[in-house]
Amino acid sequence: MFTTTRYFYPHGIEGEAMDCKSKEFEDPDKAIKHAERYAKGLRFAGVYVEDERRNLLYGITSDMEIIDNRRN
């Protein structure tokens, strides 16, 4: 199981309290595609994909820095 957690500013105002939503996937590639889909817009604050042990596999920060800890 892979979990995406995306963080966003509800009103698009940086500095306000962030909100987050999580979604689970069976396939890591689908989880990463979901993360990349939501990594845009003024409300975006970050998105991360974790495995069942809560290890960070992939992430995109608010500065659009990509964190890729997958092993090939």
- pLDDT tens-digit readout, 14-61: 889 999 999 999 999 999 999 999 999 889 999 999 999 999 999 999
Q: What is the pLDDT of residue 42?
A: 87
Query: Can you tell me the distance from the alpha carbon of 39 to that of 61, in angstroms, rounded to the nearest whole number?
Result: 8
Q: What is the pLDDT of residue 12?
A: 87
What tokens does 39 get? 């990594």
For residue 3, pLDDT beyond 60 = yes
For residue 71, pLDDT beyond 90 = no
- The sign of the CA dihedral 34, 49, 30, 36 is positive
